[in-house]
Amino acid sequence: MELGALSKLVGQVATGPFGSLLHKSDYVENETPLVNPANIVDGRIIPDMRKTVNKSALERLSSYILKADDIVIGRRGEMGRCAVVEEEQAGWLCGTGNFFIRPHSDVVSRFVAHVLRSPSYVAKLEAASTGATMANLSNRVLGDLELALPSVNSSWSISK
């Protein structure tokens, strides 16, 4: 078992575009889906084809394009809302209310997402969040979250 910070054990934690990076004028229907916290339902990503982005917005925001096995997790509102990006969702855009975690090649994303959705980790995320009106999590807090993960060299394994 390995114990350490999420950013060390799992991978890079990045914040989705915020502020003036993504504009309402970038939204179109039926193009590239945007993954916001509302699109994460019961551990799955459900697109809203009324809130997608056009090609120029996608090119401008290319550093926020999701890859298969990335983990998206809401950074505001309901803590612990997360999902693994499936192969067919690769190329979608991380939305403003999410972080995405780009895992190391030896990390099983589904296991990490399961841990982050567990009641004990949701409680940790809630305790670490700030905001009087709506819970809000920082990149640093998520990256520093302590996790215990099975070692790659363990005698048992979890398939992807």
Confidence of residue 149 (pLDDT cuts 50, 70, 90): confident
Paired tokens of 89: 């969702």
Q: Does 158 fall in a domain?
A: no
Q: Does 157 fall in a domain?
A: no
Print the domain residue range for 33: 2-149
Q: What is the DSSP letter of 53?
A: E
> What is the pLDDT, as a whole number, of residue 84?
98
Residue 157 has pLDDT above 70, yes or no: no
Q: Is 109 exposed, middle or buried (0-12, 13-18, 19+ CB in 10 A)?
A: buried
The CATH number of whichever domain residue 123 belongs to comes to 3.90.220.20
C-alpha span between 26 and 67 (Å, rounded): 21
C-alpha span between 6 and 12 (Å, rounded): 9
> What is the pLDDT, as a whole number, of residue 153?
61
Domains held by the chain: number: 1
Strands 52-53 vs 27-28: parallel, antiparallel or unpaired:
antiparallel
Q: Percent helix, strand, coil in the chain (nearest 5)? A: 30, 30, 40
Paired tokens of 4: 């350490």
Do residues 51 and 34 touch, judged by C-beta distance below 8 A? Answer: yes
| pLDDT one-digit tens code per residue, 56-69 | 999 999 999 999 99
Q: Does 154 fall in a domain?
A: no
Q: Does 143 fall in a domain?
A: yes
For residue 86, give every residue at least 6 positions away whose Cβ sits within 8 Å of its Cβ, in sequence order, or none: 45, 68
Q: Does 82 fall in a domain?
A: yes
What does residue 159 show for φ and ψ, rounded to 5 degrees? -75, 150
